[in-house]
Amino acid sequence: MLQRILVSAAVLFMLISALPQAVCGNDVDIPETASGRMLKALLESFNSGNEEAWSEFIADNWKKSDDPESAQRRLGFFRQVYGDTRGLELENVIDSDELVITALLRAKKPVSDIEWVDLTVYIDSNDTDKLLIISARPGESPDYALPDKKFSQDEMIEFLDKYIEELAADDKFSGTVLIAKDGVPFYKKVYGEACKRYNVPNKLDTKFNLGSMNKMFTGVAIMQLVEQDKISLDDKVGKYLPDIPNTQIAEKVTVHHLLTHTSGMQDYWDEMFDTSFWELKTVDGLASLIFEDSLLFEPGSDFHYSNSGPIVLGMIIEKVSGISYYDYIKKNIYEPAGMINSGCFEVDTPVPNLAIGYTRMNYDGTMLPEEILHNNLFLHAVKGGPAGGGYSTVEDLLAFDQALRHNKLMSKESFELMSTGKTERRPGTSYACLIQDQMVNGHRIVGHGGGAPGINAMLDMYMNSGYTVAVMANYDGAASRVADKIREILTR
């Protein structure tokens, strides 16, 4: 069930690489390029509302994948997004060249509060008749367009105050926002409620769910053990975990493959929610879900974002260090970085100042009416782990950023190795070792996001200019939307 939920409309704006949606409703000129022609075909197919047409488009136009389930996933995504939007109208083409086109789209009949979408279509440079990847992020109404100029710090603060306050007033943002320059915060704001039942307001030190951002901590832990010569990136999993019940993983997958999502391992979400998931409170408990699946491809030959891979890394951390994953992260990351409000807290026990997530997503993956919210306690794990689901605050994320920049957690060389992109996902954006590396208008940004129903968090580390942006929210997709707007301002 949760796998369906995680790729439905409200979460599609967080990390997704397979979002198809569109239609040409206005008199907008689409360039006669490979990317423009693909956008036209995509729009026409999607907005037909016809599943046979969707299947035909996927078979004829998408670059073939080694994942045998990719076609069904893409078809399911068309089905879900169409049900949530009833089609999307092309508002304008933002930017384009022969192989890449970005367009602003508007939902015809939005079921949720997702009305605008920035959609980017990437064409395979080796075969310009094939679609390589599609990415999307929250689109903005033209009313929110930035003026064509660079912002001073005071102008940025004034603009963001107005922008986020309007989102909060429309109940589209609930959370915390922090921006720092060279480690010194100059923007710290709080909106919304941590608990709606008792009208408890969010605070700057409210603990929000990190989603997949925990992967960064797992990556740091592995690099620390590499520095201590206790792990080699080229070692096979079986060297450390000889007894795992999957010989493919033990004999073929390396530590480097796990760090870079090139292992071919799948995900454990469906299996987790088919079990008594409230009992899964250890790394071994999570690991019990991941070893039955075969690999999707030969390790190192492709990229597949996997939540199972980091679980194996968590097992290796425990084996090599001799302590639990949770104790290792606390002792070797949280404490030296000064992260006093972070941890993998168990949500079935009272935890002070912990935000409850609120979602417009139903348990079957469909969207609720815009005016309805429910909490997400039955839509995520009871305790986070190596792949995600822990909690933190924007101030703790700044502390983590500064600890990495100032070599408190590992050497400068190790951090550069960890954070330098290894697998290009789209032009300018690569995945490194459980952290993302991208270039935006000449600005190098390192970090990670996380999202699930009622969960969204972003950490952007601007490596050249010294900015740090941390946004955490307990609403679907809300942090990504604000972090993207800040990024648009800082990279002008």
Domain borders along the chain are 2-144, 146-492
Q: What is the pLDDT of residue 266?
A: 84
Q: In this structure, what are the phi and psi dihedrals at residue 220, rounded to the nearest 5 degrees?
A: -60, -45
Give the residue from 357, 379, 361 showing the smallest Cα distance to 202: 357
Q: Is the pLDDT of residue 489 over 80?
A: yes
Q: How far apart are CA 58 and CA 380, in angstroms?
A: 31
Average pLDDT over residues 123-137: 82
* Higher pLDDT pick, 360 / 169: 169
Structure tokens at 305: 């974002």
Mean pLDDT taken over the chain? 86
Cα dist from 96 to 31, 121, 288, 424, whole Å: 8, 9, 46, 19
pLDDT digits (tens, 9 = 90+) for 444-480: 999 999 988 899 999 999 999 999 999 999 998 899 9
Pick the CATH number of 2-144 from 3.90.1150.10, 3.10.450.280, 3.90.1170.40, 3.90.1170.20: 3.10.450.280
Q: Is the pLDDT of residue 208 over 70?
A: yes
Q: What is the pLDDT of residue 366?
A: 64
Q: Is the pLDDT of residue 284 over 90?
A: no
Q: How far apart are CA 329 and CA 434, in angstroms?
A: 15
Average pLDDT over residues 237-264: 95
The share of the chain scoring above pLDDT 70, in percent, equals 88
Average pLDDT over residues 118-133: 86
pLDDT-derived band at 393 (thresholds 50, 70, 90) equals very high
* Higher pLDDT pick, 69 / 214: 214
Pick the CATH number of 146-492 from 3.40.710.10, 1.10.3720.10, 1.10.357.10, 1.10.10.10: 3.40.710.10
pLDDT digits (tens, 9 = 90+) for 349-358: 889 999 999 9
Average pLDDT over residues 117-136: 83
Long-range contacts of 279-283 (CB under 8 A, 24+ apart): 279/382, 280/381, 280/382, 280/383, 281/346, 281/382, 281/383, 282/324, 283/311, 283/314, 283/315, 283/318, 283/324, 283/325, 283/385, 283/386
146-492 has the same fold as 2-144: no
Give the residue from 78, 105, 107, 83 showing the smallest Cα distance to 94: 105
Q: Is the pLDDT of residue 386 over 90?
A: yes
- Among the residue ranges 71-85, 86-100, 301-315, 420-434, the one predicted with the least confidence is 71-85
3-state secondary structure of 107: strand
Q: Is the pLDDT of residue 268 over 70?
A: no
Give the residue from 164, 44, 112, 162 showing the smallest Cα distance to 366: 112
Q: Where are the alpha helices (DSSP H) in 389-433?
A: 394-405, 412-419
Instruction: Please indicate, yes or no, whether the overall pTM of this predicted structure exceeds 0.85.
Output: no
Q: What is the pLDDT of residue 367?
A: 64
- Among the residue ranges 137-146, 300-309, 343-352, 364-373, the one predicted with the least confidence is 364-373
pLDDT digits (tens, 9 = 90+) for 290-331: 788 889 899 999 888 888 999 999 999 999 999 999 999 999
* Higher pLDDT pick, 194 / 77: 194
Q: How far apart are CA 360 and CA 368, in angstroms?
A: 5
Q: Is the pLDDT of residue 140 over 60?
A: yes
- Among the residue ranges 208-222, 289-303, 331-345, 374-388, the one predicted with the least confidence is 374-388
Structure tokens at 424: 């290009």
Q: Where are the alpha helices (DSSP H) in 242-355?
A: 247-252, 255-259, 269-273, 283-287, 308-321, 325-329, 335-337
Give the CA angle between residues 342, 470, 195 to the nearest 5°. Answer: 60
pLDDT-derived band at 5 (thresholds 50, 70, 90) equals very low
Q: Is the pLDDT of residue 371 over 70?
A: no
pLDDT digits (tens, 9 = 90+) for 12-31: 333 333 333 333 445 678 98
Q: How far apart are CA 46 and CA 92, in angstroms?
A: 18
Q: Is the pLDDT of residue 136 over 70?
A: no
